[in-house]
Amino acid sequence: MEFGCVSAGCPNHWIRYGKYCYLFVTRYPMEWIDAMTFCKTYGAILAEVKSSSVNTFLRHEARRLTGIFWLGGSDMFIERSWKWMSSNTRFYYSTWGHGEPNDSGGEHCVQLHSSFNYAWNDAKCQNRFNFICQKAA
């Protein structure tokens, strides 16, 4: 539970960083597409990481909570063309784990992965993981 100015301007359970509120969902691991729909229900998107400062904040929280978390990036339409899906924008900032993205057996969705000290991994979109929703504060 977060209190006070940390989450000012955010709904209960969401935590604030910069202009955005983030919800770390750990109780209902979902396929990437279902996680996206879940976030949409709250007027949110799957988290999009466009700077190292946001990445540092998210990985710190993810590490604290433990587990693996979907982000809102995918190359499901064009292989190796990684996009933030809410706006169809190419990655400018990225922080892939060593050897990633490796498309191991067909992997088209981005996650913060504990094995890479919470750098990014591409994983199979149809596998179930925790996830992070994002919306404007």
Q: Determine if 123 is a binding residue for ligand BGC (CB under 6 A).
A: yes
- Residue 121 in the binding site for ligand BGC (CB under 6 A): yes
Per CB under 6 A, does 45 bind ligand BGC? no
Strand partners, 133: 23, 46
Residue 81 touches Ca ion, criterion: CB under 5 A = no
CA 124 to chain centre: 14
* Choice from 107, 120, 131, 135 touching ligand BGC (CB under 6 A): 107
Binding range to Ca ion, per CB under 5 A, among 13-21, 80-88, 109-117, 118-126? 118-126
DSSP assigned state of 68: -
If the CB atoms of residues 59 and 135 are measured against ligand BGC, the closer one turns out to be 59
Judged by CB under 6 A, which of 52, 89, 104, 117 binds ligand BGC? 104
> Binding of ligand BGC at residue 109 (CB under 6 A)?
no
Task: Report the alpha-carbon angle 13-14-15, nearest 5.
Answer: 115
**Region near ligand BGC per CB under 6 A, out of 8-16, 44-52, 80-88, 119-127:** 119-127
Residues in the chain: 137
Between β-strands 20-30 and 119-123, what pairing exists: parallel, antiparallel or unpaired?
Answer: unpaired
Burial class (CB in 10 A: 0-12, 13-18, 19+), 64: exposed
Contact indicator for 91, 130 with CB cutoff of 8 Å: no
> Between residues 52 and 102, which has the closer beta carbon with respect to ligand BGC?
102
Interface residues with ligand BGC (CB under 6 A) are: 100, 102, 104, 107, 121-123
